[in-house]
Every structure is written in C-alpha cells, then in structure tokens.
Amino acid sequence: MAEHLTEPIGADALGSADVDAVTAAVLTASRLLVAVSARSLATVQEHVTLPQFRMLVVLDTDGEMKLVTLAERLAVNPSTAMRMVDRLTAAGLIVRRTNPANRREIALCLTESGRHIVDHVTAHRRAEIAAIVARMPVDQRTGLITALGAFSDAGNEPSVAEPVRDALLLGWE
C-alpha cells in the first residue's frame, strides 16, 4: 500500500498547495471503488451490461417512468434507450405498462427479476466495501466519514438514504 495512504495527514499540513496530494489520494481510492464496483457487476454480467445495469438502477431508484425521461436520466438518445429497453424487456427485467389515462403513453418499470439484479450487485458491493472498512484502523474511520461527506457535499452528490438502495447513480445524473 502507498505510504501516503497509511500515514494520517494533519489538518495543518493541508493547504491549497496540497490539493495535488489530496487529489492523488482520492484518485487512488476511486480506483479501488471502481474495482469493487466492477467485481460486483461481474457477478451478473451474463445477464446485463454496465449501461443496462445503469438503466435498472435508475428505474429502481426513481420508479416507473416514460422512455423519454429515462433516456434523459441516462444522458442517451431515446433510440438508444429504446434498444436497451427492448433487450431488458426480452430478458424479463423490465416491463412496459400502458397509462390508462393516456393509452399512447408507455411507462417502464422493473420486474422482480430486475430488482433482484440491482439488489444482488448492491449487496455484493456493500459487503466488499464493509470488509475494506473493517480492515481500517478504528480511529481513522470517523475521519473517513467526515472527509468523504465533505467530498460528496463539494461534488453535490446526495447522501445514500437507504442502505440497500445505494446502487445510486454513480455520478451518472
């Protein structure tokens, strides 16, 4: 492990000149978190791709929505979103529902199988992150909470409200 990650850095040592050191530490930690996320997604990769998983996460997080809204949330063209929906519908992970008030409107939502995939990946990622945190010195965990909270606040990332629903948006909003 890199020495700069094991030695605590005092508040007085951090000034504007040390932004590069903090940036390097965050990049190293983000590399670890990306690896954890990739490993958790690999557990279902025979069922979904990363872009398809993102779609499942958005539907799981925000609930039923129209295709245009879903495409906007994913920052993709509606035609791209439609192809993904077609594949996920064929796989039994998403269903299309006609709006009874406007029969031209179709709403998309997760099936139980789609929700199970999101839950499985999220639980795997949570367990691996918990194991990493458990290996940290106890006296440094509070500092990590504070630092990551401040980092998330600075990046306007909302807090994870429910433990199981942390598949979050991963900055994809």
Whole-model pTM over 0.85? no
Residue pLDDT, tens place only, 120-147? 999 999 999 999 999 999 999 999 999 9
Strand partners, 95: 109
Residue 36 to residues 32, 33, 83, 116: CA-CA distances in angstroms? Answer: 6, 5, 28, 19
pLDDT of residue 99: 79
pLDDT tier at 13, thresholds 50, 70, 90: low
pLDDT of residue 138: 93
Given a contact cutoff of 8 angstroms between Cβ atoms, the answer to whether 70 and 102 are in contact is no
Decide yes or no: CATH 1.10.10.10 for domain 17-173: yes
Burial string for 129-152 (b: 16+ CB within 10 Å, else e) reads beeeeeeeeeeeeeeeeebeeeee
Residue pLDDT, tens place only, 29-62? 999 999 999 999 998 988 899 999 999 999 999 9
Length in residues, the chain: 173
Interatomic CA distance for residues 2 and 171, integer angstroms: 27
pLDDT of residue 168: 44
Give domain limits for the chain. Answer: 17-173
Residue pLDDT, tens place only, 68-111? 999 999 999 999 999 999 999 999 999 999 877 888 888 999 99
Q: Does pLDDT of 5 surpass 50?
A: no
* Two tokens, residue 57: 């996460």
Q: Does pLDDT of 171 surpass 60?
A: no
CA dihedral 28, 34, 35, 36 (to 10 degrees): 110
CA dihedral for 157, 163, 169, 173, sign (positive or negative): negative
